[in-house]
Amino acid sequence: MKQYVVTRPLYSEDAFADVHEKIHRHHKTVRHHVKHCDLKRAKNAALSLLPFIGWMRIYQLKEWLLSDIVSGVSTGLVAVLQGLAYSLLASLPPWYGLFTAFFPVIVYFFLGTSRHISVGAFPVLSLMVGAVVTRLVPDEGPPVNITGFEGLTSDEQRVMVAASVTFLMGIMQLAMGLLQVGFIVMYLSDTLVSGFTTAAAVHILVSQLKFVLGLVVPGLSGPLSIVYTLEKIFVQIEKTNVCDLVTSILIMVVVFIVKEINDRYKAKLPVPIPIEVIMTVIACGVSYAFNFRVNYKVDVVGRIPVGYESPMAPNMQIFGQTAVEAFPMAIVGFAVAFSVAKVYSVKHDYIIDGNQELIAFGASNIIGAAFKSFAASTALSRSAVQESTGGKTQIAGLLSALIVMVVTLAIGFLLEPLPKSVLGAVVIVNLKGMLMQIREVPYLWRRDRPDCVVWLVTCLASILLGLDLGLAVGLGMELLTVVFRAQFPRCSVLANITGTDIYKDRKDYMSIYEPEGVKIFRIPSPIFFANIDFFRGKLVEVGFNPLRVLRKRNKALRTIRKLLKKGELQMTSVSIVPVHALSVCSGPIEESEDESNMEELDQPTDFKDLPVQVNWNSELPANIQVPRVDVHSLILDFSAVSFLDISALKGLKALKELIRVEVEVYIVACDGKLKKLHSCMFFDDEVKSSMFFLTLHDAMLHILEKHPVNSENTKVCEKV
Query: Which three-class secondary structure string do you get for 104-149?
Result: HHHHHHHHCCCCCCCEECCHHHHHHHHHHHHHHCCCCCCCCCCCCC
Over the range 640-667, which residues count as b (16 or more CB within 10 Å of their CB) and which as e? ebeebeeebbebbeebbbbbbbbbbbbb
Tell which wins on pLDDT, 108 or 716: 108
Poorest-pLDDT segment among 56-70, 286-300, 704-718: 704-718
pLDDT band at 581 (very low <50, low <70, confident <90, very high): very low
pLDDT at 38 over 70: no
Domain identity same for 318 and 193: yes
pLDDT at 25 over 80: no
pLDDT in tens, 167-195: 999 999 999 999 988 777 778 888 998 99
| Res 370: pLDDT | 95
Tell which wins on pLDDT, 184 or 324: 324
Q: Is residue 43, in this structure, part of any structural domain at all? A: no
Q: Is 678 exposed, middle or buried (0-12, 13-18, 19+ CB in 10 A)?
A: exposed
Domain identity same for 536 and 644: yes
Q: Residues 419-432: what's their mean pLDDT?
A: 91
pLDDT in tens, 525-569: 888 888 888 888 888 877 778 888 888 888 888 887 787 777 776
Give the number of domains in the chain: 3
Element (DSSP H or E) covering residue 665: strand 664-668
pLDDT at 215 over 50: yes
Q: What is the mean pLDDT of the chain?
A: 86
Instruction: Give the whole-angstrom CA distance, residue 383 versus residue 200.
Output: 19
Share of the chain above pLDDT 90, in %: 47
Choosing from 484, 500, 529, the residue where a domain stops is 484
Q: Is 590 exposed, middle or buried (0-12, 13-18, 19+ CB in 10 A)?
A: exposed
pLDDT at 422 over 80: yes
Choosing from 445, 467, 484, the residue where a domain stops is 484
Domain identity same for 504 and 399: no
Instruction: Give the whole-angstrom CA distance, residue 717 versus residue 696.
Output: 12
Q: Is residue 423, in this structure, part of any structural domain at all? A: yes
Render 630-647 in DSSP notation, one character per residue.
--SEEEEE-TT---B-HH
pLDDT at 315 over 80: yes
pLDDT at 586 over 50: no
Domain identity same for 477 and 501: no
Domain identity same for 139 and 237: yes
Instruction: Give the whole-angstrom CA distance, residue 136 versus residue 131.
Output: 9
Domain identity same for 424 and 452: yes
Q: What DSSP designation does 419 have?
A: B
Domain identity same for 240 and 140: yes
pLDDT at 646 over 60: yes
Domain identity same for 109 and 179: yes
Residues 6+ apart with CB under 8 A from 431: 123, 201, 204, 205
- Within 13 Å of residue 319, how many CA atoms lie on the same side as its CB? 12
Closest CA relative to residue 515, chosen from 704, 667, 652: 704
Domain identity same for 316 and 338: yes
The counts of H helices and E strands in the chain are 31, 13
Poorest-pLDDT segment among 443-447, 476-480, 481-485, 596-600: 596-600
pLDDT at 578 over 90: no
- How many other β-carbons are positioned within 10 Å of the β-carbon of residue 202? 18
Q: Is residue 31, in this structure, part of any structural domain at all? A: no
| Res 139: pLDDT | 85
Domain identity same for 166 and 277: yes
| Res 690: pLDDT | 87
> What CATH number has the domain bearing residue 690?
3.30.750.24
Decide if 555 contacts 620 (C-beta within 8 A).
Answer: no
Q: Residues 348-377: what's their mean pLDDT?
A: 93
For residue 378, give the amino acid letter.
Answer: T
CA angle 182–27–40, rounded 5-degree value? 70
Q: Residues 622-627: what's their mean pLDDT?
A: 78
Q: What is the dihedral of CA 562, 566, 569, 575, to 10 degrees?
A: 50
Decide if 341 contacts 117 (C-beta within 8 A).
Answer: yes
| Res 73: pLDDT | 92
pLDDT at 580 over 60: no
Instruction: Give the whole-angstrom CA distance, residue 283 versus residue 417.
Output: 9
The β-bridge relationship of strands 587-588 and 624-625 is: parallel
Q: What are phi and psi of 615, to 5 degrees?
A: -90, 105
pLDDT at 334 over 60: yes
Over the range 484-512, which residues count as b (16 or more CB within 10 Å of their CB) and which as e? eebbebebbbbbbbbeeeebeebeeeeeb
pLDDT band at 594 (very low <50, low <70, confident <90, very high): very low
Domain identity same for 561 and 634: no
Instruction: Indicate the SS3 state at residue 714.
Output: helix
Decide if 624 contacts 577 (C-beta within 8 A).
Answer: no
Choosing from 462, 484, 506, the residue where a domain stops is 484
pLDDT band at 688 (very low <50, low <70, confident <90, very high): confident
Domain identity same for 366 and 502: no
Alpha helices in 296-419 (DSSP H): 316-348, 354-370, 380-388, 395-406
Q: Is residue 337, in this structure, part of any structural domain at all? A: yes
Poorest-pLDDT segment among 138-142, 156-160, 284-288, 415-419: 138-142
Q: Is residue 11, in this structure, part of any structural domain at all? A: no
Residues 6+ apart with CB under 8 A from 333: 122, 125, 169, 173, 361, 365, 375, 376, 377
Q: Residues 120-137: what's their mean pLDDT?
A: 92
Element (DSSP H or E) covering residue 520: strand 518-522
pLDDT at 351 over 80: yes
Closest CA relative to residue 344, chosen from 103, 118, 173: 118
Q: Is residue 557, in this structure, part of any structural domain at all? A: yes
| Res 199: pLDDT | 93
CA angle 37–111–331, rounded 5-degree value? 105
3-state helix, strand, coil in the chain (%, to 5): 60, 5, 35
| Res 29: pLDDT | 67
Q: Is residue 50, in this structure, part of any structural domain at all? A: no
Poorest-pLDDT segment among 360-374, 391-405, 593-607: 593-607
For residue 455, give the amino acid letter.
Answer: W
Q: Residues 485-496: what's their mean pLDDT?
A: 90
Instruction: Indicate the SS3 state at residue 431.
Output: coil
Q: Which domain covers residue 380, as residue numbers?
A: 65-484
Poorest-pLDDT segment among 9-23, 276-290, 608-622: 608-622
pTM listed for this prediction: 0.80
Instruction: Indicate the SS3 state at residue 494.
Output: strand
Instruction: Indicate the SS3 state at residue 249.
Output: helix
| Res 715: pLDDT | 45
pLDDT at 589 over 70: no
Render 586-602 in DSSP notation, one character per residue.
-EEPPP-TTSS-HHHHT
| Res 115: pLDDT | 92
The β-bridge relationship of strands 518-522 and 633-637 is: parallel
Q: Is residue 147, in this structure, part of any structural domain at all? A: yes
| Res 571: pLDDT | 63
pLDDT at 718 over 50: no
